Structure 1
């Protein structure tokens, strides 16, 4: 058995720590709940501003309708839209249903292919201060009817949510 040096272990631990903690919390015959979390040294006000105002800069374009051709935006008020526009094409990804600035943003609807499948969910972005860090918890509660069940779908959605949250973290922590 090879001995691993302490610096390699620290490097590996550091790499693991940079990614969202992802978890499928529940799967039932009518839906699922997935949750992802990250931590950043940025203040909640900074995280909020980047989350809401800069979504087009950090949201992965391969998880949008029109890729680099689309422009994403969030109207951070109840009834507002998490939308994408590309020329004369447009999509409402989700509807904004609750806003408590610097703390909670709730969106409702079905993201991506879930929309076309008739799935509906509540996507909660919760920012909380923890020991001079901000924790961002992204929880998606999805309900609907899926003839194949949700056992295979829930982990896929969880992975995509993890990708999205990790992109926010990378954007928050990139050097100016």
Structure 2
């Protein structure tokens, strides 16, 4: 179930300064910064849309760049993508009815969700700047097949995706690999049937 990432309490400038300059930034701060992107996508207004024409419910290249900047900031780069950040990305994905980003957000979204899933399953992941880079193939760092994928993580992802009007083809491919890796667990997860897995 999608738990809403709260409205930001600090300014975007404060959050960006914290995650780009602090060595102890948190996923919570990054998720709060991503909430500004989500709000800009929903309304077409706000600090992430300043200085350009931005229609509501649309996601463009600059929105994708904001997400990449936030997710790969120095302060969070060496940590795994957090559940809060992953939830914020699910919200951005769902809010964006129109896309004009050339697939940049979709690629980042899928890699970030996988980064979270692999790490939350206790497996090692590379730094975000490596794992989330457009030129990095997922196959270069993601487990091809692993029986170590955490059931709770799979259930959470399935719940986040169920009933959504928009799904990421890249994310669906990755999840097919993850769910395939956890094939013995599939029968115990009724949510997966809803996703056509």
- Taking structure 1 as the reference length, the TM-score comes to 0.27
- The structure with the largest helix share of the pair is 2
- The structure with the largest strand share of the pair is 1
Greater Rg, structure 1 or structure 2?
A: 1
The one of the two structures with greater contact order (alpha-carbon pairs below 8 A, sep at least 6) is 1
